[in-house]
Chains A and B, each alone.
Chain A
Amino acid sequence: MVHYTNSQFQLRFSLLMAVFVLLLVLVLPIATGSKNALVKAALALLPAVPVMLAIILWARQVLHLDELEQRIHVRALSVAAAVVSVTSIVAGLILVAFGADLNGGVLFWVFGALALVYGFLRKWMKWRYTGSWD
């Protein structure tokens, strides 16, 4: 199994996230306008592909790390999940209370927010444990 250095991993992860955002912006409007249900579903699910690839990449990367690095990843992911969950609940309640008209599209950003918060926390925790940012 291939194991990347931290910077190689971050580059690949960021590229997959960029493809995800690009597909959201480019493909989703086409899916919305499509009349054929099969084409609509296929196009709508296309942005999920880079997300799944990113998750596989992350899991393979973490499996190759030593115990401290795995601990840092798991802790960062746990805190990020808690932060994003609480934020989405609070934001959802506030928006409902103020009668905001939202569609399911806002859910796209949950994974992005999770990845962003997790990435920041991982860097910070690594620095706290090892004094190194990389």
Chain B
Amino acid sequence: MKNRVRELRRKRGWSQAELGERVDVSRQTINAIETGKYDPSLPLAFKLAQVFKQRIESMFEPGEGRQ
């Protein structure tokens, strides 16, 4: 799955650790999501969308991803 997490995080000037704290996951998990190595669960994807004030479908789109 492709996502815009890195782009949106950088726009807000947050570090991976800061974003991790906001959605209650580790910095490494944010890194894995941003690099497409891990697709978040639906609840976590909604949390991310909420934090960035985005619609979930504008943040995530189907594509190649490693699980």
- Classify chain B: how many residues form its interface, as a range: 10 to 19
**Residue of B26, B31, B37, B40 touching A128 (CB-CB under 8 A):** B37
Distance of A71 Cα from B37 Cα, bound (Å): 13
Q: Knowing A128-B37, A129-B37, say if A68 contacts B32 (CB, 8 Å).
A: yes
A129 touches B38 (CB 8 A): yes
For the complex formed, measure the closest distance between the CB of B67 and the CB atoms of chain A, giving whole angstroms: 9
* Residues 9-38 of B contacting A (Cβ, < 8 Å): 24-26, 28-29, 31-32, 35, 37-38
**Chain A: which residue is nearest B24 at the CB level?**
A66
Distance of A68 Cα from B32 Cα, bound (Å): 9
Judge whether B8 is part of the interface by a CB distance below 8 angstroms.
Answer: no
Residues on B with beta carbons closer than 8 Å to the beta carbon of A12: none
For the complex formed, measure the closest distance between the CB of A85 and the CB atoms of chain B, giving whole angstroms: 24
**Chain A: which residue is nearest B43 at the CB level?**
A67
Q: Knowing A67-B44, A68-B38, say if A131 contacts B25 (CB, 8 Å).
A: no
Residues on A with beta carbons closer than 8 Å to the beta carbon of B58: none
Distance of A67 Cα from B46 Cα, bound (Å): 14
Q: Which A residues are within 8 Å of any B CB, using their own CB? A: 65-69, 71, 126, 128-132
